[in-house]
Structures are given as C-alpha cells and as structure tokens.
Amino acid sequence: MIHQMNPTALQRYLTAAEVKPLLIDVREDREFAQCHIEGAVHIPMAAIPGRIAELDPARETVLICHHGMRSLRVAHFLEQRGFTNLINLQGGIDAWAAVVDPVMPRY
C-alpha cells in the first residue's frame, strides 16, 4: 500500500522513528545536487528498474521527487513488484523546502 505523507508529518515521523525508513530521491542528478533531504539515497527514476534488486520490498521506503508526481509513479511501480511499505512525500522536495526547511534552495 502507498501512503501519502505531507512534509510536516514526515518530519515528525523521521524525528520519532526508532528505525528510520529508507529515503529514496528519484529526481535527476542536477536536481539532487541542488537540494535534498539529508540521508536520502539518490536513485533517479529511470534507474529504479535496474537497481530494484538493491531494495528490500519489506522495508519502509519514502519516495521523494520535486512535486510528488514522479515519486508516486515510482511507488506504483514498486508496489506492482511486491513492495508493501511505501510512503510518497506529498508535494515533494518543493513542499518540504516551503514548510520544513525554508533555507533549502527551491527551483
């Protein structure tokens, strides 16, 4: 199942979680270089199919992109391949920067 989580809820969750979820940022290289959430693993959307074996289908995984649409597409792709614990960051990194980290560069 894919859960949607807004930036504020995700920040609270990351702070409180004993076992941190895997954060996967699916944006392109230049986007990730410009800004990203600390600790996020960068796997561009196009690279996900070739790197799926590196991921644990049971591990809680948060997917991140610019506005939340590409990450949702990746979440659906993973869900169809047996991943069961997926979270999509609503509004993406842009919403995170606006609400959680106002000093983060926006584009």
Q: pLDDT tens-digit profile of 57-100?
A: 999 999 999 999 999 999 999 999 999 999 999 999 999 999 99
> Looking at residues 38-64, what average pLDDT do you find?
98
Domain at 3-99: CATH architecture: 3-Layer(aba) Sandwich (3.40)
Q: Where are the domains of the chain?
A: 3-99
Distance CA 85, CA 78 (A): 10
What pTM, to 2 d.p., does this model score?
A: 0.96
Distance CA 78, CA 98 (A): 28
What angle in degrees, to the nearest 10, is found between the helix axes of 92-99 and 7-16? 80
Distance CA 43, CA 27 (A): 7
Give the closest residue to 19 by CA, choosing from 56, 54, 65, 72.
56
pLDDT level of residue 16 (50, 70, 90 thresholds): very high
Catalytically active residues, by annotation: 65
Q: Which residue has the tokens 């920067």?
A: 97
